[in-house]
Amino acid sequence: MEPILTAAIEAREHAFAPFSKFKVGAALEDDFGRLHTGCNVENASYGLTVCAERVAVFKAISEGARRFRRIAVCADTESLTPPCGACRQILWEFCGDIEVVLVNLAGKTESIRMSQLLPRAFDASFLG
pLDDT tens-digit profile of 47-102? 999 999 999 999 999 999 999 999 999 999 999 999 999 999 999 999 999 999 99
pTM, entire model: 0.96
Q: Are 88 and 120 in contact (CB under 8 A)?
A: no
Query: Which of 2, 29, 53, 63 does the annotation list as catalytic?
Result: 53
Q: Is 69 exposed, middle or buried (0-12, 13-18, 19+ CB in 10 A)?
A: middle
* Coil, helix or strand at residue 51: coil
| Alpha helix segments (H runs only) across 75-119 | 85-95, 114-117
Is 53 tagged catalytic?
Answer: yes
**Length of the chain in terms of residues written:** 128
Residue ranges and CATH numbers for the domains of the chain are: 3-122 (3.40.140.10)
